[in-house]
């Protein structure tokens, strides 16, 4: 149950909040401020934070690609149809 609560808490974090929390975990582990058992729990949380950050970055990348495609379509509508090349000839490839 605690693992599910942790996942829900992490999923609500912004990218910046997750990175800050991840940085704090790394610092604590590197400095030996926490016992081994707690280090393992923090490591597990850190891995969940990394997964969350990757997910956010992947969604941002997809959004950027979509915006780029839309901008390309607006700038050159005939390219989006794929029926003409830049020189005005019909595409056969």
Average pLDDT over residues 74-81: 65
- Answer yes or no: is pLDDT of 7 > 80: no
Please identify which residue in the block is written with the tokens 């970055």.
57
Please give the pLDDT value at position 93.
45
- Number of domains the chain is built from: 1
Average pLDDT over residues 50-67: 96
- Residue 46 within a domain: yes
pLDDT tens per residue, range 19-38: 999 999 999 888 888 898 89
Q: Which two tokens stand for residue 62?
A: 């997809």
- Residue 85 within a domain: no
Please give the pLDDT value at position 1.
45
- How close are the terminal C-alpha atoms of the chain, in Å? 56
**Structural domain harbouring 19:** 2-72
Please give the pLDDT value at position 77.
64
- Answer yes or no: is pLDDT of 60 > 60: yes
- Residue 88 within a domain: no
Query: What DSSP designation does 91 have?
Result: P
Distance set, CA 92 to CA 4, 82, 83, 87 (Å) = 54, 10, 9, 13
Mean pLDDT (the chain, rounded): 83
d(CA 19, CA 17): 5
**CATH number for the domain that contains residue 6:** 1.10.287
């Amino acid at each position: 149950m605690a693992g599910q609560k942790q996942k829900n808490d992490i999923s609500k974090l912004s990218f910046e909040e997750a990175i800050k929390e991840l940085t704090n975990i790394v610092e604590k582990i590197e400095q030996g401020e926490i016992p081994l058992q707690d280090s393992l729990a923090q490591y597990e949380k850190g891995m969940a934070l990394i997964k969350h950050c990757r997910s956010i970055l992947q969604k941002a990348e997809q959004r950027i690609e979509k915006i780029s495609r839309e901008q390309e379509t607006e700038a050159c509508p005939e390219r989006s149809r794929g029926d003409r090349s830049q020189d005005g000839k019909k595409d056969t490839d």
